[in-house]
Every structure is written in structure tokens, then in C-alpha cells.
Structure 1
Amino acid sequence: MATIEDIYQLYLQHPTISTDTRKIAPGSLFFALKGDKFNANTFAEKAIEAGAAYAIIDNPEYAMGEKYILVADGLTALQNLAAHHRRQLDIPVIGLTGTNGKTTTKELINAILSQRFNTLATEGNLNNHIGVPLTLLKINASHEMAVIEMGANHQKEIELLCNIAQPTHGLITNVGKAHLEGFGGVEGVRKGKGEMYDYLGRAENNAVAFINSDDTLLSAMKKERGLTNVIYYGKNDDPNNIISGKLLDSSPLLVLEWTDNLEGGSYTVSTHLTGSYNLDNILVAICIGSTFGLTPEEISDGIAGYEPTNNRSQIQRTVTNTLICDFYNANPSSMFVAIDNMDKMQGSHKVMILGDMFEMGPESATEHLLVLQKAMAADVQERIFIGKDFAAANSSMDNGPWTMDEKPTFYLTAEDAMAGLKANPISNATVLIKGSRGMALERLVGLF
């Protein structure tokens, strides 16, 4: 069987990785990965025919010549290759995880660092046990920095991704209620996300942790592990913060003032982001930019120039409405901050459209009820809930203590909601649309 060094020599000659025969890059290395419903070994010959230079397979039945490289396990080989490649790189690698805000924070960090450095960042949501290796294997000699997003839905996954990416700097955006089923409850989430701090805190890694001093849970997790190589940021006046900031406006786009507490000086930036909860994400990106020596002008330009395009905190204006498109995903923690944001936002006609949250496990009924109650207490004029879990939560409250003026609307499916919105169109409103990815609430956008 081939060793990782053998495969790495092939990679140096063919530094493009393919895992999908529908998207084979000519001259690439094709890794035959397996899933619950597929075995890409069966497509190895097709990959070679489509132009792949070599196929990395883990089933000897499909070894049909010198272009077929046999390994014990295709996924493990991909991960080990990425880790080996990472060890050859002498550049800063910033790793980040967290319950909410990972992708936005990653993109903000990249937007700032790219003002001066040739930076490679995770594309889209390629943040899992396959996506992280694929991202690392895109780093070439021209790159000066990398920003690697790490997602997880169970314990030990962040540990694995850190061992592959070997970050020199890292952060946890926050720890909240998401993937409760896979993590085994809230404490499991805390332990799983804490694997980032575990890695950064190892003496041999000598890595830096960026920590939000406003977040008491992250501070406790830092203290539990005895982290000492820490850089702080936050909204408060903690003397340890090298960067602090505050919002000047948030209706709906954020305008903030940030302060460099080391050099002195405060700077005002207008952004294309909505949601007051994004201030923390912006501040850590500023903190990282400052740590790597960017000027205040470069930092502010990076923040001001970033425009979200990923249905996370994204503003979309139609002829008659302003939409807050936040339907890439949802969990109780992100629902709460989104509802808080709508509650505080100015506007004479505010509408919340909330879809079911997935992967909640045994906590699902309780968490949907809590979100429902919070939404009903918010200062908005209309509330629409979509999905069987919100409907069940409403039934558990015996239709709730709603007055006729505030009575919410419930739809069992997105299709039902689409029909309802066509019959009762919304206009001249600020509308939040948020739900789990499986709800596919992007289908509602065209109705506004």
C-alpha cells in the first residue's frame, strides 16, 4: 500500500484534489471516499477516464493499473495528506469554531487580512472532516496566511480538525445550543467546542487564543484549561482588551466605533451587515487584523467592504420590503439573538418568519417552546411560524395566551406558508426569515 509520503509526491506534481467524478479537474488526484449511500471506489475508473491523473482507492478490486493508488482508507489518507502538507507550511493558520457566527467571522477575518496578505480561507461551508482537508490542500507557496473554519456536530470532531489543520491561532465565537442530539446536550457542546482551547493550550503548540472578554462561559473555559497565551477583545472596558467597540446604529445595517487600546485612536465604520450580534464577530476580526500589524485604515476598509452573500445576516431589499435573510441555518442560540435584534430594531411594521430547528434531539420540544415564547414577547407586529415542531409547541400551550391582535400564524410546511403569503401578501415591512437549512426558507423570498 502507498504511504502518505508516496501520495504527497504525487500531490506535489498534481496539486488539485477531486472527490466528485462530476467535477473532475484534469490532472487531479481523485480520492474515492465512502458514505452511507455511496462508495466512490466504484467511480475510480470513471474519474481516470474524465482526466484524473491518479485515483486513490481503498478497495483492491478496483485497482486497474498504475494510476490506481491503494490505501487502507480513502478518508484517512485524505486527512493524513492534508496534515502532512500543513506541516510543510510555515505560515500562520487561524482556526475558528463556535455555535454561531463561524462563517461570518471567517469571512470578516479574511476580508481584513486580505487587505495586505495573500490569504486562503475556507470556501462556503467546507468546514467538516472532509472540507477542512480539502481546504488545506489548496494552500500553495503563494499564500501567506490561512483562515480555517471548523464545524462539528459531535465530540472529538474539533480535536480531529485541529490535529489536521494545526492552527497557530484560534478562537471560539461562542458556545450555545446547536446539534444537541449529536453532542449529547449542552454540556457536550461545551466540551466539544472546548477542544479548540485544548489544542491551543498544549505547550508544544505555543498557539494564541483570541477570547471575547464579555463571554463569561469562554472565560471560564479558558480558566479551566489554564490558557496563558491569550489576546482579548470585547465591548466592555476591560483593561485586557486590545480592541473594544460599540454599535452606533443597527437599523438595519450596523455602524460601529472601534478603539485600538494599545495604540489609542477610535474609528467609525459603516458595514453591510445586519444584526447587533455580529458586533462580536466584527471585533474579533479587527483584533486579529491588529495582531498581524494591519493599519486602522486597512482594518476599517476590510470591514466596510465586506458584503454577505451567504444568507447569513444578509439584507435584501425588494420593491416593498426589507428582508433579513438568515435562513442558512438555525438553532436556539441563534434564534434568540435574531429575535432580540428584531425586538430592538426600529420600524413601524416588523415581521418574523421562523422555521423549525433541526438536530435538537430530546430537547426539541422544550427549545421550540422557548423560542416561540420569546418571539411572542418581542416588539414586532406579525409572527409566522413554519414547521411541525413550532405547531406542536403552540399546541402544548393550548394556543397560548395570545390576544387576537397578536395571534401568530402557523403553517405545517414551507409550501403551506408560500400559499398563505400569496393569499395574504406582506408589504412595507422589515421581515426576518430564519430557520434550519432543511426548511429551505429561501423559497419564500420571491413572495416579497
Structure 2
Amino acid sequence: MILKIKNIISQIHAVFVDNNNAKTIDAVSIDSRSLQNSSQTLFFALIGSNNDAHLYIKNLIEKGVQNFVVTHIPDDSAGKANFLVVENTLVALQLFAGYYRSLFDFPVIGLTGSNGKTIVKEWLNFLLSPDYNAIRSPKSYNSQVGVPLSVVAINEQHNLGIFEAGISTFSEMEKLEKIIKPTIGILTSIGSAHDEGFGNLEEKIREKLLLFKHSKVVIYQKNEIVDANLFSFKSGNQIAFSWSFKDATADVFVTKRPVSDKTFLHIRQAKENFEIEISFQDAASVENAISCLMVLLYFKYDVTIIQNRMKLLYPVEMRLKVKNGINNCSIIDDSYSSDFQSLKIALDFLESQTRAQQANIRNKQDQKKTVILSDIFQSGLPNAELYSKVAALIISNKISRVIGIGETISAFKEMFTNCITYKNTAEFIADFDVLIFSNETILIKGARTFQFEEIVSLLEEKTHETVLEINLNAISHNLNFFKSKLKPATKMMVMVKAFGYGNGGFEIAKLLEHHKVDYLGVAFADEGISLKNLGIHLPIMVMNPENTSFSAIIQHQLEPEIYSLKGLRAFIKIAEQKKLKHFPIHIKLDTGMHRLGFEANTIDDLIIALKGNQTIQIKSILSHMATSDDLKQKDFAHSQIDLFEKLSSKLMTELQIKPIRHILNTSGISNYPESQFDMVRLGIGLYGVSNDDEEQKYLENVGTLKSIISQIRTIPAGESVGYGRRFMAEKSTKIATIPIGYADGISRGWGNGVGFVTIKNEKATIVGSICMDMLMVDVSGIDCKEGDAVVIFGKSPTVNYIAQKLSTIPYEILTSISQRVKRVFYRE
């Protein structure tokens, strides 16, 4: 985003006050606490019921912010910055977002409904990401503030938008429609959530449908109320694209067949019939999956592609999270919502999880199910009627035990069988030790105000509390960033060696397979064998194969890099013994790295050894650049590229072959785009690391190494911390111990005041020597307690920063993280 202020003034109906309307802005902010606010940020001073951002303008100016949208100019800030004065800053933000949206012309999917918006959004992003560079709402940014913030994140690289719109009363959707301007509309499930703002269901549907007032197509489950209201504003160029389980007149008719833990959907559209498989059985997930399917059908995807991609849909850990519990229990964490409609969905999910957990238990009486339930909100029903319906749901789902928490549900305790109640969460926690939880599936469902996360913490199985969180969305983003630098015909190999640079090999390989990269690269045969055994089908190149691994490479259909005559002859001998024909190999040339590869003076002997041999096929010719990241050594880099061109051309001419050629690594992709040849090899860049500060701004952080505070103590002046007493307290000092050390991959050189961790967004310096399993930090002045989260690296400190301080490279920091550190993969 780079916009001139003078072009914004009229769009938001502002009066400009000061003298520099030619200035440009490159970001929008509403958060005065954000460290990303800069001189080119346009800050909207929003006024809420409990806060007025105008109070923070003086402080923001001192920090360098120069551009503000305000209702008035504070006296202490006049003449010190550029001000765009408006009547209402929220309306101005929405007008700005609508203007910014109008600058882009690509398909935009708008989602609304009572349930399923975020899941459908995430799934659509997953299904369409191999073909589109999509921008979507972060998390659940679907409000009057969240939607404009989502839309202003669009940039020139995006060619598809997916945005949620949530409303709670009248006159809200019209504003969101002008911001999102969806060309494709999706109406997800309509339930009772947020009914309070509407007189009846029809009123709510009519308001939600306003999002699609100018959409080319509206996708929805066929429904009389929707049909009637949709056509009330539908113009001539719009189409309704409906689906149904019951109404055969729908554009797409669906029948479902549950099998084991999956569902098979038979799809009938016009004269076409086919079946897809999804890995879910609960009604909500099935309906959300069909909404996604309808988009693929509208985009006219090939049936085979639809089938392959739909099969890969994954659970979105947003509200319903399945966790291992104490005493062989399974926990379903839905601890942030409590309305009647979502209770029905959660109970359906509970049943499917119980079946999965107890599939091998012959005695069906062992299938115990417990529900821990708070007072229910957003129902729109009188309490007596509501809890009567809840009790009926509990009975129909054969719940073994109900634990109710809240004054209202306690008043209706007698409606439930085998039910105990507590007035609040604190009473339950106080009674926890006398309650017995064992061999059961437990649904924990409560409104946010009840803080049921404390109950989840009590029931969850305790494991090693240091984890490396891997953001799969960030990997997709980084992959697409580097793809955008390539010519259309250029192929891409992605390196997943060394356990995916420490981030986890298989999970990342699976994602890359979904994104249709052309090759995966590993260092040694056992890495490739592991991926093949886990079901990865992409071709995998083994970069450093040992002669002793050739038989295993052939057995598992891996493709070896050959870098010496000795290795070539050994491989050909085994290939001939196995009577192979045209087995793929890759020829490595040494153009100046002087590590592995055929040098110029061995090319003639290589040609003689290869000529006429039918057992092998040269799939690619490659080399490796030594200085692609150092622009001071461009001459050497160009000499490598020129030599690679010369030697590879000679091989191709003499052998009459047309293999894939590749020499560029991550830095080479950015610094030598004219030398892409036929393929490039993406490595550390995929994992969010660049040696170029400007490029780093466009990459997303992938790995966040987290732990917790095990213990806090205060030591007096003169006392020491750790082995060798290398830290001596000069004053009373609060020390926190973190359960991570050099056995987990943290360099001892990062201790003794060199490094820091982040606690509550503040730096905590590492004091004393780093131990095998622990390190200690100074938390004096930080408001923290035992159990609080600690960031070892991620956004702060970054692996680049740590590497710089330790005089090493980010590769070493990432790949040093021990296998005993659990990897947790997630999508935002």
C-alpha cells in the first residue's frame, strides 16, 4: 500500500489541516500500542465506549507517526502532524477501506451466516491456494472494524479475496458490503446466534443477504426464506447457485453416506454425477465442506482436482479443539462460546469423537460422555424453554454426566439426569480433587466470561511445555512470495532436508505437495525414505547420497544426485544388476563451490560414461552458488552462472538430452532472476528467513519456539545464578527459570547477558550460563507469574537476530532445535 494523502482526503470526506498533503502512507493503524506505527502510517483515532484514541496522539507523534484521521485536533498536537478531520473516524475508516478495495479488480468471495464463516474461509484458502494468491480475513475479523482492517491488507500480489462479514443488528451489512464488494457470495449456516438484534429469522436472513447485493453469484443451501429474499434485490446479471440434501430442484443435489470416520458425498449437477470424500461426519463440517465444493464447481474445477483436494480438508482448531486429557480422557475444548445452536454442533462432534475413541472397545457401556456446560447465551428463548431443549439434547446424545456451571443452569438442575452444578468456575475448581474423571470423552463448553480455559488446563494431560509452533499459513505465504518472482515456466524444488530446517519434514512436505511444487530436496536417503513411507508422492532428490544407500534409493523411488565418476559407476552397476531402464538421476557440476560435483576437466570422462547408457536418465543438471547472498561478489556469482551454462550446454549437446537445469538457491532467486534456467531451489526463504532486510519485510515468521516460566524467585544483591556463578546480582533481582536448555538446541553462547527471551511482550535478559535443560532470565520490572508463556524465538527475538549475535547463520539456529521439542502445526 502506497497512497498519497491528497488522494485520500476527498474519499473520506475530510478537511485537511497542515501543510504536506503530498506525503504518502503505506499502512493503516488503529492500535496506539503497535510497534509497527511509523511516519508513513495513517492512524485512525477511533472512539469507543471505554476508550478514545485521540488521547494517545501526542505520544504517537513523539514516536514518529505523522498522519492522523481525527474528529478534532488535540490542543497539545496542533501543528505537529498532518490531520484529516472527519465527523466520525469509524465511518472514515470504512470509507477508506471501500476506496482502497476499489483499486483492485479480482474475484472477491464474501461470507456471511451464523456459523461456519471462519472455517469455510480457511478451507477455501486451502483449496484455492495452489492456483491463487489469496488475501483473507485474519482469524475472525468480520466486524465493523475488523472488515476494513482485513481489506486494507490487500496488496498487488493478491488475485483473490476471501472476507467474512458478521453482523448483530440492522443497518450493519450495508456498510460491510460497500467495503468488501464481493463478486461471489456465500451464505453459510443460519442459526440462532446473534438473534437478539432481529425480530425473527427472516429479518436476520434479509439483512445478511444485503452483502450480496452486487455479487455475480450467491451460493447457499436452498431454503424458501432465502429464495424469497434473495430474489427481492437480485438484478439481471446475478445468478443463484444453490445446493440441497432434500430439494432435487437445487442446482446441486447432494446425498451423504457416512463410512467409518469419513463421509462420502454424491454430487449431482445437471448431467454430471461424481462422488467426493471428506474426513468428517458432523453435520456442521459436512455443510461447510459443501459450501467450499460449490465454489470449486462455480470456478469449473476438474472433478479429479476437486476430489483430491476435498479429501485433504483438515479440522480448523478454532473453537472445537480435541486434546489428550488426564486419566485416559479425551477433551473437546469449546471453552469460548455458549449458544444453543453451537451446543447442538458440539454435541454432534462429541458423539463422533467418542465413536472414534471407543471403536475398539467391545463393551459399549464403557463409552462414557461428560458435558461441562456454562449458562447459555444468545438463544432468544425464555430460560425455561431453553433449558428444557438443552435437557432434551443431552438425553438424545446419551450423555453420561452433566456438570453445570452458572447461576441460571443451576436453577434448572432438576431437568437433567446425573447432574451436579456450581454457581461459578471457582466453585468447580475448588471441588475438582473430589471429582473423578477417567476413560471418558469430555465436552467443555462455556461462554468466555466463565473462563473455562482454567478447567481445560486442569483436565489436559501435562506434557513437556516447550514447543515449536509452525505456522503453515506462513509457509504458504512465503512459498507464494517466491513463486511470484519466477517466470511462468520455471519449476520449483523446495528443500525439506534436516527435518525441514528444523521445522518438521513430513507436515511441510505434505503442504508443499498440496501446493504442487515440482520437487522436494533432501540431504540423505533416510530423509527421503521417511517421507515416501509416510505417503509423499512428489519426486524427491537426494542431494548427498552415499554409495551404500543406492539400493535403498532405488527401492523407494528416490532420485540421487550424482557428483563423481566413482559414484556414477557404482550406481550404474547396481542399476544394471536390477535391470533398470531410464532410472532418473541428477548430475551435479562444480562451478566454484568446490564441495561436490564434476569439474570442467572431468566433463569429457562423464560424457563417455553416460553416452548410450539406457539404465539411467539424466533428469536434471545442477550446480550450487557460493556467493548468491553477497552482492559484493557478483562477479564471482556470474562466473559460476556462465560456467554452468557452458558445461551444461556441452553435456546436453553431446548426449542429445534436454534435462531440467537449475543453479539458483533462495538468495539466487532474488538476486539473479535472469538465471532461473528451468528450475530454482527454495530453501531457507520458505521458512521466513532472508539475508536481505528489505525482502525480510515481505516474509512471514514460520516457527515460534515457546516455553513457560517454571518458577520465579527474588534474590538479594550479592547472590549468584547458575553454574560457575557467572551472574552476580548487583541489586534485588527477580529471576524466572525456563525449562529449555542446550539439550533442546539453545546455544550456551546465548547466555550470560548476550541473549533474551520475550515475556508479556517485554525483553527478559538471559542471566548466567544456559544449563542442559533450563535457562534463567531477569524479569525484574515485568508483571509475570509462574506458568506464563515465554517466546524463545519468533517475531522477537528473530532467528536472524540470534544468528547475528552468535556470529553464525539462521540455518544453524533452526536446525539445532532438538527432536525432543514437540512440533505443533497450526493454521491461523
- Listed as ranges, the matches of 1:273-352 within 5 Å are 275-296=282-303, 298-299=305-306, 300-301=308-309, 304-311=312-319, 313-318=320-325, 320-342=328-350, 346=355, 347=358, 348-352=367-371
The corresponding residue for 2:625 is none
Q: Distance in 2 between matches of 1:52 and 1:365?
A: 55
The 8 Å contact of residues 197 and 225 in structure 1, kept in 2 or not, is answered as no
Gaps of 5+ in 1: none
The corresponding residue for 1:170 is 185
Q: Distance in 2 between matches of 1:244 and 1:435?
A: 34
Distance change (3 Å), C-alpha of 1:162 and 1:445? same
Q: Distance in 1 between matches of 2:447 and 2:457?
A: 19
Q: Distance in 1 between matches of 2:60 and 2:275?
A: 55
The letter for the 2-side match of 1:375 is: I
Q: Distance in 2 between matches of 1:307 and 1:53?
A: 44
Q: Distance in 2 between matches of 1:292 and 1:373?
A: 42
Offset of residue 141 of structure 1: 1.1
Q: Distance in 2 between matches of 1:247 and 1:440?
A: 38
- Listed as ranges, the matches of 1:15-414 within 5 Å are 15-25=26-36, 26=38, 27-61=40-74, 62-181=77-196, 183-185=197-199, 187=200, 189-200=201-212, 202=213, 205-213=214-222, 215-222=223-230, 229-236=239-246, 238=248, 240-242=250-252, 244=254, 246-249=256-259, 254-257=262-265, 259=267, 261=269, 263-270=272-279, 275-296=282-303, 298-299=305-306, 300-301=308-309, 304-311=312-319, 313-318=320-325, 320-342=328-350, 346=355, 347=358, 348-360=367-379, 363-364=382-383, 366-394=385-413, 399-400=414-415, 406-414=417-425
Distance change (3 Å), C-alpha of 1:434 and 1:296? farther
Give the share of equivalent positions with the same residue, in percent.
25
Q: Say if 2:454 is the partner of 1:447.
A: no
The letter for the 2-side match of 1:374 is: L
The 8 Å contact of residues 192 and 380 in structure 2, kept in 1 or not, is answered as no
The 8 Å contact of residues 265 and 277 in structure 2, kept in 1 or not, is answered as yes
Q: Based on CA coordinates, which of the two structures has the bigger radius of gyration? A: 2
The 8 Å contact of residues 248 and 255 in structure 1, kept in 2 or not, is answered as yes
Offset of residue 285 of structure 1: 0.9
Offset of residue 90 of structure 1: 0.8
Offset of residue 2 of structure 1: 3.7
What secondary structure, in the 3-state scheme, does the structure 1 residue paired with 2:161 have? strand
The 8 Å contact of residues 24 and 47 in structure 1, kept in 2 or not, is answered as no
Distance change (3 Å), C-alpha of 1:5 and 1:98? closer
Q: Say if 2:443 is the partner of 1:432.
A: yes
Q: Structure 2 length as normaliser, TM-score?
A: 0.48
Distance change (3 Å), C-alpha of 1:438 and 1:314? same
Offset of residue 73 of structure 1: 1.9
What secondary structure, in the 3-state scheme, does the structure 1 residue paired with 2:404 have? strand
Q: Distance in 1 between matches of 2:22 and 2:453?
A: 39
Which range moves more in the overlay, 381-390 or 50-59? 50-59
The 8 Å contact of residues 46 and 90 in structure 2, kept in 1 or not, is answered as yes
The 8 Å contact of residues 96 and 150 in structure 1, kept in 2 or not, is answered as yes
Q: Distance in 2 between matches of 1:340 and 1:152?
A: 26
Offset of residue 131 of structure 1: 0.3
Distance change (3 Å), C-alpha of 1:323 and 1:247? farther
Q: Distance in 2 between matches of 1:241 and 1:247?
A: 20
The 8 Å contact of residues 329 and 438 in structure 2, kept in 1 or not, is answered as yes
Distance change (3 Å), C-alpha of 1:387 and 1:64? farther
Gaps of 5+ in 2: 1-7, 359-366, 460-828
Q: Which has the higher contact order (CA 8 A, sep 6+)?
A: 1
Write out per-residue CA displacement over residues 288-321 of structure 1, whole angstroms, 9 at most, x where no aligned residue: 123224444554436625342222x332234622
Offset of residue 168 of structure 1: 1.1
Distance change (3 Å), C-alpha of 1:418 and 1:250? farther
Write out per-residue CA displacement over residues 17-58 of structure 1, whole angstroms, 9 at most, x where no aligned residue: 211111141332211101011110111122233343422222
The 8 Å contact of residues 276 and 310 in structure 2, kept in 1 or not, is answered as no
Q: Distance in 2 between matches of 1:291 and 1:56?
A: 41
- Superposition RMSD in Å: 3.1
Offset of residue 78 of structure 1: 0.5
The 8 Å contact of residues 284 and 345 in structure 2, kept in 1 or not, is answered as yes
Q: Distance in 1 between matches of 2:184 and 2:224?
A: 21
What secondary structure, in the 3-state scheme, does the structure 1 residue paired with 2:156 have? coil
The 8 Å contact of residues 335 and 445 in structure 2, kept in 1 or not, is answered as yes
Offset of residue 245 of structure 1: 5.1
Which range moves more in the overlay, 437-446 or 381-390? 437-446
Offset of residue 143 of structure 1: 0.7
Distance change (3 Å), C-alpha of 1:338 and 1:219? farther
Offset of residue 199 of structure 1: 4.6
Distance change (3 Å), C-alpha of 1:378 and 1:130? same
Distance change (3 Å), C-alpha of 1:80 and 1:104? same
Q: Distance in 1 between matches of 2:254 and 2:65?
A: 50
What secondary structure, in the 3-state scheme, does the structure 2 residue paired with 1:383 have? strand
The letter for the 2-side match of 1:195 is: E
Write out per-residue CA displacement over residues 95-126 of structure 1, whole angstroms, 9 at most, x where no aligned residue: 11111222212212222122321111111121
Q: Distance in 2 between matches of 1:171 and 1:425?
A: 45
The 8 Å contact of residues 279 and 313 in structure 2, kept in 1 or not, is answered as no
The 8 Å contact of residues 61 and 81 in structure 2, kept in 1 or not, is answered as no
Q: Distance in 2 between matches of 1:117 and 1:303?
A: 19
The 8 Å contact of residues 136 and 162 in structure 2, kept in 1 or not, is answered as yes
